[in-house]
Amino acid sequence: MRSNIFMKDRVAIVGAGLTTFMRRALETPRELAWEAAKMALDSAGLTLKDIDCVVIGSAPDTFDGMHFKGEYLADGSGAINKPMTRVYVGGGTGVFVPESAYWHIASGVCKKVLVIAEEKMSPAHPHPQYVFKYIWDPIIERPLGPNLIWIFAMEMRRYMAKCGAKKEDIALVSVKNKRNALDHPAALTAANITVDDVLKSETLVWPVNLLDVSPVTDGAAALVMTSENVAREITDTPVWVDGIGFTLENQHWYNRELAFPRYLNHAARMAYKMAGIERPWKEIDVAEPYDPFDYKELHHIEGLMLARPCEAWKLVKEGYFNRDGELPTSPSGGLLGVGNPIAAAGTMKVAELFWQLRYEAGKRQVKKPVHKAVANAWGDLMQAGTVIVLSN
Amino acid sequence: MSYDKRNRMEDLVIFPGEQEVEKYVYTPGIHGLEFAKGLKEGKILGMKCHDKIYVPPKTFCPDFTQGELVEINDEWILVSYTIVYQDMYKNNLSSPRIVGVVKPKNAETGLIHLLNVPLDKLEIGIKLKPVFRPTNERKGTINDIKYFELS
Amino acid sequence: MSSKINKLPGIKLKENEMYSLIGLVEDMPQAKYDFAAGTTISKFLQGLKEGKILGRKCPKCGRIFVPPRSYCEWCHVATNEWVEVPQTGEIHTAVITYISTKREKIEKPEVVGTIKLDVPGYRDGEYEFAGLFHKICVDPQDVISGKAIGMKVKVKWKPKEERTGSILDIECFEPL
Amino acid sequence: MGVLMSRVGIVGAGWYGFKPTTIDISFQDMMFESSARAYSSAKIDPRYDVDAFVDCQEDMWEGIAIADEFAPEPIGGALRPTFTVAGDGLEGIAHAYMLIKTGHFNVVSVESHGKPSEIKTLQDIYRFALDPLHVRPLDYVNPLFYAGLDAVAYMKRTGAKREHLAMVAVKNKNNGLSNERASFSTKLDLDYVLSSNYSIYPMTNYEIAPFSDASITFVLANEEYAKKLTDNPVWIDGIGYSTETGTGATEWHEWGKMKSFRNAAIMAYKLANLNGNPQVDFAEVEDRFSFMELLALEETMLVKESEAHKMLEKGDFNRDGYLPINPSGGSLSMGIQLEATGLSRLLEAYLQLTGKAGNHQLKNVRRGLVASWRGVPTYTSMVALLSV
């Protein structure tokens, strides 16, 4: 990869939309996509006629129970008679969809792109977690009867062992995010809880308790992205995409050190390089690290180089990542507080940064002035790192 | 791999697998719920978008505005048809299925459904009517309509 | 949004409300597969049946991969040599599971984790290593106290007559 | 000026398989085989020279809930910028095209594979793609009925007869006899087709493409690198893809037409600065159902509306005709490789344009068109315009 010195047209986000995050929605998946898309278009002051390309993101087809899920969502995503594509990097998809929209626009092929992320996890019975059995290698791993939470617990245990963090230190992230989510209108699991509540909740796979984990969720999120010229016409406050980064690690996750997310670090370096950021820990004002589990936010803060390896858990204790702290993380409430409709959750994070950078986040607006922001998502078997850097 | 592939069948393992859950539960959606209620009552609902009518109602119009529900009382026209003689594994079906696209005369779109029409009468443009199952057998799904037949 | 909008679209349902919806469709199409293991994994499974753990060596970087691959993911060249590797190693990470695949409570908690095998070809402290993901027969208390992390373990095989050429031919890893 | 104006070229291709079954090799190994051949033909080392890797696959075809996990290792993309497009390989080519056009990426590889022989319940997997509320519950048995509905409406609209559909099968099955990738080619007379039973009216089994296993990899580069890497790059003058409607609203489809082909073609021609018929020397177009070849030719504006069957009758689409169509034998001869099907057509076009098509090489071809559909029950199509 090289920096493109010829690039004249920047890429902007000009609108965002979100459905409520729910345990069970009446809406079909395509209706959820439509609701979010409609809101995003309205917020940008555009209609569907203005859109020339559509990028869809959604995680496993086995949640919604639809083969060809991208094709299924097409009409709800406004893709009728338009170029439509679905990109897919597991849980990392949510942040990856706007990244893909970036190259649709930066290449000059499209001018106005509708970005849709949707997930309906409730159709799968008896429990959506059952679906995760099929993400494992069918020959070497599936016969052991794994549950998705195993792999997270293993990573968390390794992080604890290597970095000296305790369960109660990590639980602080869950407390912070669920509290932040109280101000979010889409939130599913917002609450005022204590570290003790986390430690006393049901132990699923030690060291992971129920309140360490984000919930099963139905929901959708959408963005409208345009080229610089179009953005200048539409709005006075576009949010710019300064850099994108994405990496896929090898599939053999058990052949790797689990304490540090190398997959994310490589993606972050790619995005920072494109954005011209040399010292992310100083230059980034607000971040939305991916937090399906509480330790995962710490892990990702370190991968994004917003804290030194093994130091994020110490900074949480000091309130460094609170909304009024030095470097607010997950001011939205994150996946732990707002909910985790896999792909839609990542796009929700990008939408949150969009609102933060326009000072439109209302009660959720962070205290400090904001100029540069970063969001990331993770996916697959500890493999996919997707990073987007935004500025106002 | 590459240069040392094996060709003795006993050296090669085939490992069975699946990607199933116990079941999927699909909610009918916003307009879908009303459509389902209508079917149970022996009615077919459509959606009016500006001046055009779409069947079945799909909550939003192609231009993303929200449609309005209307009851369809038109006669139905056959838009296209086919006859399925075999399954995908090329086994002959004991009874071939006639599948058609049927739309109300004044609507833009219509339903995909089974037809009960003699083969020699089968032609694009013929007039059809829905045949509902008896009230006590209706569940609010597309199968509440048994098939379409000549009107 | 966001300061302007407080109500977002979306109609929530409770579980019983969902099941009583008119027009609800329940369905499960069959999704069954026959995965071809290919030469490399077939031979690995055959090795397990014989009580051996087989690795495959990259001619370019010298890493020995367990489980074996046909190609080196770091050099993109075909691996060229079968190596029987030691059946000992250390626990990289371990956890205690109280739930099954379907998220039901299980009676007796199990310990699972990843094992870094004593395989040559890797630098000390390298990010990558050869190893397996499996069950571990240690006291759950050792997982909580941290004693288990880094503990030396060896393979505990199933009795020979019960082995079928599967990853389950290894019963678990047990302390050395 | 610089990179944005730079063309995008194909600098290498590799394939493996094209057999009805491949039980000797896992899908990952098959991916490695095809990518190793592609990188070798482009004379590059993927670990150093490729800036991004695109993989095209769908979970339900693979039997793995996040098949993306298995993408990076076999194609050389581990710990590198790699991602999956849940779509046909040609959509992956479109992504690569756009990545290169941003100026940030010099060399991008695209892999797609299909291993339908591993799917025990293919009919059910197809059924799984249908709208669960309004279509899936019906007792139609074979989800390919969608193609029958379009075929009947197409014939009514254009006046094409059943014999014309059979002629497509005869041409393509015979063309395949000189193509090493055409496992399903056969010497075929029109009578054999006309005298066999319908499978899905109005088509017999000769006219419905079977399935085969394959992996195909392409290496794309910007103009500067393409010229450095090879003496005979194939330029992608334009690429387009379009979706007519969602599988949750197939009722909105216009029966007997394929607007997605038309819109994809318009997009591709626009990127190539062309308006209307691109005047190609040959084309590899969709033919998984025989009528689709005629429909695709009309919708991509290569021939006039309702003219395709007349030209076919005159022999215009034969290998020695005025506009050779599917010289490879198409999907009717090579089979459907699930998401790799679009790339199987692109591969043939690439080989023809570089003069490497062997026994079935066409003479003096400088410009070709590829058009492919994602298959039942979707209404998504892709078009690529190539030249040397």
Cβ atoms of D315 and D349 closer than 8 Å: no
Q: B36 and C35: CB-CB below 8 Å?
A: no
Give the three-class secondary structure for B39: helix
Q: B87 and D139: CB-CB below 8 Å?
A: no
Distance from CA of C159 to the nearest CA of A (A): 18
pLDDT tens per residue across span A340-365: 999 999 999 999 999 999 999 999 99
Mean pLDDT, range B95-110, rounded to an integer: 96
Q: B62 and A75: CB-CB below 8 Å?
A: yes
Please say if the pLDDT value at position A129 is more than 90.
Answer: no
Please say if the pLDDT value at position A125 is more than 90.
Answer: no
Residues A354, A333: Cα–Cα separation, whole Å? 15
pLDDT tens per residue across span D180-197: 999 999 999 999 999 999
Query: Which CATH number goes with the domain that contains A262?
Result: 3.40.47.10
The pLDDT, as a whole number, for residue D388 is: 94
Please say if the pLDDT value at position A178 is more than 80.
Answer: yes
* Nearest CB to A70; choose among D73, D87, D94: D87
The pLDDT, as a whole number, for residue D3 is: 46
- Of the listed ranges A134-143, A346-355, D108-117, the one predicted with least confidence: A134-143
- The ipTM, to two decimals, is 0.96
Q: D141 and B93: CB-CB below 8 Å?
A: yes
A-C C-beta contacts closer than 8 Å: 186
Name the residue range of residue D310's domain.
Answer: 2-120+209-387
Confirm whether A252 is domain-assigned.
Answer: yes
* Nearest CB to D118; choose among C23, C35, C70: C35
Please say if the pLDDT value at position A199 is more than 60.
Answer: yes
The pLDDT, as a whole number, for residue A301 is: 97
Name the residue range of residue A380's domain.
Answer: 11-125+215-391
**Amino acid identity for residue A199 in this structure:** L
Confirm whether A96 is domain-assigned.
Answer: yes
pLDDT tens per residue across span D8-28: 999 999 999 999 999 999 999
Task: Find the closest chain C residue to B140 by CA distance.
Answer: C23
Residues D217, D36: Cα–Cα separation, whole Å? 9
Task: Find the closest chain A residue to B29 by CA distance.
Answer: A27
Mean pLDDT, range C140-167, rounded to an integer: 95
* Nearest CB to D99; choose among A84, A103, A252: A103
Query: Which CATH number goes with the domain that contains B56?
Result: 2.40.50.140
Phi-psi category of residue C165: left, alpha or beta, with phi > 0 → left and psi -120 to 50 → alpha: left
Q: Domain tally for chain C?
A: 1
pLDDT tens per residue across span D291-326: 999 999 999 999 999 999 999 999 999 999 999 999
Neighbours of chain A (3+ CB pairs under 8 A): B, C, D
* Residues linked to residue D203 through DSSP beta bridges, in sequence order: D200
Distance from CA of B24 to the nearest CA of A (A): 5
Q: Domain tally for chain A?
A: 1
- The encoded tokens of residue D174 equal 């015979």
Please say if the pLDDT value at position C140 is more than 90.
Answer: yes
Give the three-class secondary structure for C171: strand
Q: In the block, which residue shows the tokens 């079928």?
A: C164
Q: Domain tally for chain D?
A: 1
Name the residue range of residue C161's domain.
Answer: 37-175
The pLDDT, as a whole number, for residue A7 is: 59
Q: Is D74 on the interface with C (CB under 8 A)?
A: yes
Residues D222, D47: Cα–Cα separation, whole Å? 18
Q: D63 and B81: CB-CB below 8 Å?
A: no
Query: Which CATH number goes with the domain that contains D72?
Result: 3.40.47.10
Task: Find the closest chain A residue to D51 by CA distance.
Answer: A1
The pLDDT, as a whole number, for residue D2 is: 44
**Radius of gyration in angstroms for the set of CA atoms belonging to chain B, rounded to a whole number:** 22
pLDDT tens per residue across span A244-275: 999 999 999 999 999 999 999 999 999 999 99
Cβ atoms of A64 and A29 closer than 8 Å: yes
pTM given for the model: 0.96
Q: Is D118 on the interface with C (CB under 8 A)?
A: yes
Confirm whether D162 is domain-assigned.
Answer: no
Mean pLDDT, range A118-137, rounded to an integer: 89
Please say if the pLDDT value at position C100 is more than 90.
Answer: no
The pLDDT, as a whole number, for residue B144 is: 96
Mean pLDDT, range B48-54, rounded to an integer: 95
More confident position, C126 or C72: C72
Confirm whether D279 is domain-assigned.
Answer: yes
Neighbours of chain B (3+ CB pairs under 8 A): A, C, D
pLDDT tens per residue across span D139-184: 999 999 999 999 999 999 999 999 999 999 999 999 999 999 999 9
In a 10 Å sphere around its CB, with 0-12 CB exposed, 13-18 middle and 19+ buried, how is residue C84 labelled? exposed
* Nearest CB to A255; choose among C6, C102, C129: C129
Edge-to-edge, what's the strand order for the sheet holding C25-27? A124-125, B23-26, C25-27
* Nearest CB to B21; choose among A75, A76, A124: A124
Please say if the pLDDT value at position D111 is more than 90.
Answer: yes
Confirm whether D303 is domain-assigned.
Answer: yes
Cβ atoms of B100 and B115 closer than 8 Å: yes
Name the residue range of residue B62's domain.
Answer: 25-150
Mean pLDDT, chain D, integer: 95
Confirm whether B5 is domain-assigned.
Answer: no
